[in-house]
Amino acid sequence: MNEWHETEIRVRYAETDKMGIVHHSNYLVWFELGRSEFCRARGFSYKEMEEKDNALMVVAEVYCRYKSPAHYDDSIKIRTKVGEVRSRSVRFIYEVYRPSDQVLLCEGETLHLVTDANKKVRSMPEVYKKMLLSEESEDANAFPSNKAPS
């Protein structure tokens, strides 16, 4: 559970205020983006989990601490990892930082309850629990990140 997944984005003009500073609400959207990409890197999507297995991850808690502002056109990275997986919930941990100067912009957590389509709390399907706790899977068509093509 100590492995971070990184998602890189560029701050869009629409995400900023008149001064070019990112509005605080966008960090929660970025958490969702990081979480979705984390799941894809582990081999599944939210859509698959919802449609195939009737398991939805409903946000029950959000924590966000702002450290430094992000600005229009900054390239930023969203780091995401699993904090804990329980029978009916999962906690994700996030860091948002600017690689150009290594400044931590924000850190946070989200807690998700697993429900069915009727919003009744249910157990996390074992297959997703295993994938959430596994190491990041390599894309079969990509070169491993630590090796150059030969």
Q: Where does residue 104 rank: exposed (0-12), middle (13-18), buried (19+ CB within 10 A)?
A: middle
Domains, the chain: 5-133 (3.10.129.10)
38: part of which helix (H) or strand (E)? helix 26-41
Backbone phi, psi, residue 124, to 5°: -70, 125
pLDDT in tens, 71-127: 999 999 999 999 999 999 999 999 999 999 999 999 999 999 999 999 999 999 999
Residue 116 designated active-site: no
| pLDDT (tens digit per residue) in 136-146 | 654 433 434 44
**What confidence tens digit (pLDDT) does each residue in 1-27 have?**
578 999 999 999 999 999 999 999 999
The enclosing H or E element of 29 equals: helix 26-41
Residue of 17, 73, 116, 139 marked active site = 17
